[in-house]
Amino acid sequence: MKRLILLIALVLASTPGQARQFDLPPAGGGPTVEELVIESTTDLAVFRPMVEAFQLRNPGLAVTYRELTSNEIAARQEEACASGEFVADVVISSAVDQQLKLVNDGCAKPLVLAEAERLPGWARWRDELFGFTFEPAVMVYNRAWFSEVGAPQSRFEFIDLLRSSTYYAGRIGTYDIASSGLGYFFAFQDALQAGTWGRVVESLGRNNAKLYCCTFDILERVADGRLLIGYNVLGSYALDYIREDDRIGIVLPRDYTLVMARAAFVPRQARAQLAAARFVDFMLSAEGRDILSNDMRLLSPIDGAERLERLTGQKADDLETFRPISMTPALLVGLDEAKREIFMRQWRAALPGLKARR
């Protein structure tokens, strides 16, 4: 039942126009002393353990939690930044490129956080944007189908597999990068990492791969066998899925594994600035990292690689296998409209017959 509620929440959270607001009273039902407003792309069903743990340690704190899409958050924050109006105290999004643009435009308040000093350089931009998760882009596969032959462990093996047989036609799934901001983000970063991107896209097109807006759509179909492999799937959701359904397996590609960190910042117009700073610091603390790992399956940039190896049972050859997506102005390149249009034209040319399945 817990996983069913989570999966429904993930679907709703990834659907445009489904913005929702939740009002969480202080822990223990006491009077409200302070209020904290959080806007996030992560559904409260996933984030609730972190919020409630923070409330327990801050008596009298009421939290308003709003779920929005990454594009909605970016638009609201851009307008609020320009007008000087209050919208939220903490902004959290998986669209790291959009977050970086807002911070680079002067929309964030600098913070002095004790726990932030432990963050690796790639998960932090100045003292304003803080990555608090460690989420790999993985391949998922149907365990029953690959029980004897073994699933591909790298992009090279993935490409060879799709070239060697026509059986996988229509049974490979990935994100529709036209409708999924995360899918576009991963695809654009993939294209920057290595020369295999063109061959991967060509293989997807030749095998009539299915495109989806949402992670759950891919996981569900790989589990029941309608798909055999899911490519570039968000690993945190896959890890949560297999807690109660082990019909899928997870591969951290051996050639390289992209890693994303959801990012948080405190807007300049925040009202509860001290509480907001404490909340970001709490997410980075040892207690916050345990909640991320054990209750949310999002992990932390501070110790995520080691925990991920224990969770998946797959030992990376070395930490260089992981390629974290650094929070630097280089991320802004993918937001350029001209470059995005060129990238989308290349995608459509390589996959001319594909339509998104929702």
Query: What is the domain partition of the chain in residue ranges?
Result: 2-134+261-309, 135-259+328-357
Regarding the domain delimited by 2-134+261-309, which CATH topology (the fold level of the hierarchy) does it fall under? D-Maltodextrin-Binding Protein; domain 2 (3.40.190)
Report d(CA 311, CA 244) in Å as an integer.
14
* Cα Dmax for the chain: 66
Quick one: average pLDDT of 285-300? 90
Equal fold, 2-134+261-309 vs 135-259+328-357: yes
The tokens of 279 are what? 């909340």
Tokens 């995005």, located at residue: 340
* Helix H or strand E encompassing 191: helix 181-193
- The CA-CA-CA angle for residues 27, 28, 32, to 5°, reads 60
- 257 φ, ψ to 5°? -125, 110
The radius of gyration computed from the CA coordinates of the chain, to the nearest angstrom, equals 20
Q: Which of 52, 50, 2 is nearest to 24 (CA)?
A: 52
pLDDT at residue 100, as a whole number: 94
Report d(CA 235, CA 216) in Å as an integer.
11
Instruction: Name, in order, each residue with C-beta under 8 angstroms of 115's C-beta and a sequence gap of 6 or more.
Output: 281, 284, 285, 288
The tokens of 196 are what? 């295999």
Q: How many residues does the chain have?
A: 358
Quick one: average pLDDT of 195-201? 89
User: For 135-259+328-357, which CATH class?
Assistant: alpha beta
pLDDT digits (tens, 9 = 90+) for 164-185: 888 899 999 999 888 777 888 8
pLDDT at residue 346, as a whole number: 86
pLDDT at residue 45, as a whole number: 87
Lowest mean pLDDT among 14-23, 64-73, 86-95, 106-115: 14-23
Answer yes or no: are the C-beta atoms of 176 and 356 closer than 8 Å. yes
Read off the pTM.
0.83
pLDDT digits (tens, 9 = 90+) for 223-266: 999 999 999 999 988 988 988 899 999 999 989 999 999 999 99
Specify whether the backbone of 13 is left (phi greater than 0), alpha (psi in -120 to 50) or beta. Answer: alpha
Answer yes or no: are the C-beta atoms of 50 and 264 closer than 8 Å. no
Q: 17 to each of 12, 20, 206, 292, how far by Cα in Å?
A: 9, 9, 34, 27
